[in-house]
C-alpha cells in the first residue's frame, strides 16, 4: 500500500501534504564536529516521507507504517513525553514529539496533526534516519503553519529536539544535511561558523553505502573517551598556543611542533582531528578542481587515520575498505559515522557500480563470513513539501 492510500485508509480522508526529508552520509570529516571542524556530508536519495493533514484540536495522531505502530499525544502536554493514555511514548514517537516541543518553545505555531510516515533510510546504519524524521515533521508543520524560518534555524531546532527532548547528544551535521541537500553535490559545512557551500561531486559517480552488519556496541563510552582526549589535548597545547579554543585552531605545522608534549593516546587522537580537518580542506580543493582520484585518496587516508590514530574502526569495516580498494570502479572508501560498526561509504564510477557492489558483497562474505547490505545512492536535494 502506498503512503497516500495508507493515510486514506487510516483517517478516511486524503492527506493535505506530503513531506520528505533525506538521510545523509558523511563523505569526509569524521569526529571533527565536536572539535569545531568542517565536515563534508551529502543528502542521499533515501528518505522519510510523511502524509499529513491538520486537525482542529491539539492532538497529534501518528502511524508508523513500517512498524505498524501508532501513537497519540497532546501538544499541550509534551513535557511528560507521554501519550494520551498516560503511558510513555514509544521511542520512535519521541522524535516528532520533540520537534513539536522545540518548535513551540521557539514560539512557532504547531497544529494538531494526523500523519502516516514511512522510511527507506536504514535504521541503525549511520545514515541519520532520526534526523530525517525530525526534519520531515519540521517542514510539514512549517507548511501547515505558514511561518517563515530559514533552513538553518529549522535544522537547529531539530537538533535541539534530539539533544534536549530525545536525549541524544548529536551535532548539527545530520539535520543540516537533511535540510540543505543539493542533488549531485557534497555539502561543505563549517560546524563552528555554520557557513556552508554545495560542491559538485565528480560526474558519472555514485555513492555505495555498505552496511557491515555490526552494530555499535561500544560507541557511547568510547565516543566520550575520545571527546575527553581531544579536550585534554587542547588544555595541554594551550601552554604553547594560548589562543586556541578547540583542535580546529591548531594547524598541522603547530601540531607537529608541540605534539611531543602530549601523552601517547591523547597525541594520536589529536593527530587524527588536526589532519582530518586539513584533509577536508584539501578534499574541497580537489572537488573544485575536478580531481576525483585525489578526492578518493583523501577518503582512503581518512579511513587509515580513523583506524590507526582514532581507533574507531573494526575488522569488518577494515575488510570492506580493503576489498573496495581493489575493485574496478572504486574511487575512494572509508568508514562513515562514529565507527565501532555501521557502514562504509564508497565513491564509485556509475557505470561500474553494479559490478562493484557484487564484488564487495562476495569479497566480504568470503573474508568475514558475514553478509553486507550495500545501498546504491546518489546525492539528493534536501527536505521538501509537495
Q: Do 218 and 94 lie in a common domain?
A: no
For residues 50-55, average pLDDT: 98
For residues 222-246, average pLDDT: 95
For residues 123-133, average pLDDT: 79
- Evaluate whether residue 115 is within a structural domain: yes
Boundary of a domain, candidates 156, 179, 202: 202
List C-alpha distances in Å: 320 to 232, 289, 339, 377.
33, 28, 13, 17
Q: Do 80 and 184 lie in a common domain?
A: yes
| Percent of the chain as helix, strand, coil, to the nearest 5 | 45, 25, 30
CATH number, position 172: 3.30.230.10
pLDDT at 125 over 80: no
Category of 208 on φ-ψ map: left (φ > 0), alpha (ψ -120 to 50) or beta? beta
- 201: nearest Cα among 298, 295, 92, 69: 295
Cell numbers placing 188: 561543505
pLDDT at 349: 98
Q: How many domains does the chain have?
A: 2
| Domain around 309 | 206-234+280-377
Cell numbers placing 281: 580542506
pLDDT at 204: 95
Q: Residue 357 phi/psi, 5° resolution?
A: -65, -45
pLDDT at 263: 98
Q: Do 14 and 97 lie in a common domain?
A: yes
- Evaluate whether residue 273 is within a structural domain: no
pLDDT at 220: 66
C-alpha span between 357 and 377 (Å, rounded): 12
pLDDT at 223: 83
Q: Do 121 and 19 lie in a common domain?
A: yes
Helix (H, G, I), strand (E, B), or coil: what is residue 116? Answer: strand
- Evaluate whether residue 75 is within a structural domain: yes
Marked catalytic residue, from 2, 33, 174, 326:
174
- Evaluate whether residue 83 is within a structural domain: yes
Q: Do 188 and 314 lie in a common domain?
A: no
CATH number, position 216: 3.30.70.890
Q: What percent of the chain has pLDDT over 90?
A: 91
pLDDT at 52: 98
pLDDT at 219 over 80: no
Residues in CB range of 314: below 8 A, 6 or more apart: 212, 214, 339, 340, 341
List C-alpha distances in Å: 76 to 61, 79, 115.
14, 8, 18
pTM across the whole model:
0.94
Check: CB of residue 185 under 8 Å from CB of residue 172.
Answer: no
Q: Where are the alpha helices (DSSP H) in the chain?
A: 3-11, 91-105, 129-145, 151-160, 173-180, 219-237, 252-258, 264-288, 292-308, 315-325, 353-368
Mean residue pLDDT of the chain comes to 95
**What are 286-342's pLDDT values in tens digits?**
999 999 999 999 999 999 999 999 999 999 999 999 999 999 999 999 999 888 888
C-alpha span between 208 and 4 (Å, rounded): 30
Dihedral sign for Cα atoms in the order 381, 24, 174, 304:
negative
- Evaluate whether residue 56 is within a structural domain: yes
Dihedral sign for Cα atoms in the order 25, 27, 33, 36:
negative
- 6: nearest Cα among 56, 50, 59, 72: 50
pLDDT at 224: 86
CB-count exposure of residue 138 (10 Å: 0-12, 13-18, 19+): buried
Q: What percent of the chain has pLDDT over 70?
A: 97
For residues 74-89, average pLDDT: 96
Cell numbers placing 110: 504547531
pLDDT at 74 over 80: yes
The yes-or-no answer on residue 174 being catalytic is yes
pLDDT at 218 over 60: no
Q: Do 189 and 292 lie in a common domain?
A: no
Amino acid at each position: 500500500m502506498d503512503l497516500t492510500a495508507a493515510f486514506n485508509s487510516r483517517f478516511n480522508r486524503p492527506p493535505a501534504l506530503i513531506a520528505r526529508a533525506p538521510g545523509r552520509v558523511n563523505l569526509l570529516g569524521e569526529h571533527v564536529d565536536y572539535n569545531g571542524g568542517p565536515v563534508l556530508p551529502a543528502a542521499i536519495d533515501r528518505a522519510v516521507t510523511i502524509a499529513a493533514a491538520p486537525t482542529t484540536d491539539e492532538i497529534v495522531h501518528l502511524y508508523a507504517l513500517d512498524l505498524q505502530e501508532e501513537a497519540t499525544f497532546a501538544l499541550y502536554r509534551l513535557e511528560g513525553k507521554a501519550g494520551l493514555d498516560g503511558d510513555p511514548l514509544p521511542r520512535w514517537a519521541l522524535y516528532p514529539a520533540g520537534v513539536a516541543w522545540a518548535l513551540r518553545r521557539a514560539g512557532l505555531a504547531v497544529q494538531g496533526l494526523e500523519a502516516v510516515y514511512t522510511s527507506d533510510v536504514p535504521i541503525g546504519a549511520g545514515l541519520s534516519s532520526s534526523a530525517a524524521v525530525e526534519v520531515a515533521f519540521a517542514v510539514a508543520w512549517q507548511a501547515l503553519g505558514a511561518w517563515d524560518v530559514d533552513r538553518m534555524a529549522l535544522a537547529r531546532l531539530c537538533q535541539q529536539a534530539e539533544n534536549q527532548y530525545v536525549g541524544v547528544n548529536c551535532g548539527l551535521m545530520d539535520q543540516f544535511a537533511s535540510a540543505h541537500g543539493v542533488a549531485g553535490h557534497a555539502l561543505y559545512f563549517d560546524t563552528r561558523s555554520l557557513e556552508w557551500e554545495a560542491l559538485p561531486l565528480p560526474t558519472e559517480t555514485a555513492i555505495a553505502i555498505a552496511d557491515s552488519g555490526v552494530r555499535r556496541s561500544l560507541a557511547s563510552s568510547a565516543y566520550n573517551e575520545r571527546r575527553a582526549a581531544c579536550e585534554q589535548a587542547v588544555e595541554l597545547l594551550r601552554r604553547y598556543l594560548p589562543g586556541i579554543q578547540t583542535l580546529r585552531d591548531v594547524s598541522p605545522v603547530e601540531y607537529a611542533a608541540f605534539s611531543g608534549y602530549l601523552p601517547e593516546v591523547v597525541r594520536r587522537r589529536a593527530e587524527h582531528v588536526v589532519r582530518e580537518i586539513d584533509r577536508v580542506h584539501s578534499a574541497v580543493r580537489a572537488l573544485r578542481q575536478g580531481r576525483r582520484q585525489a578526492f578518493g585518496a583523501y577518503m582512503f587516508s581518512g579511513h587509515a587515520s580513523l583506524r590507526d590514530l582514532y581507533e574507531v574502526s573494526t575488522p569488518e569495516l577494515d575488510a570492506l575498505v580493503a576489498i573496495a580498494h581493489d575493485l574496478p570502479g572504486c574511487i575512494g572508501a572509508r568508514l562513515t559515522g562514529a565507527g565501532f560498526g555501521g557502514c562504509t561509504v564508497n565513491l564509485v564510477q556509475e557505470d561500474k557500480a553494479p559490478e562493484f557492489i557484487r564484488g564487495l558483497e562476495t569479497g566480504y562474505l568470503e573474508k568475514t563470513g558475514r553478509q553486507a547490505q550495500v545501498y546504491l545512492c546518489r546525492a539528493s536535494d534536501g527536505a521538501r513539501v509537495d
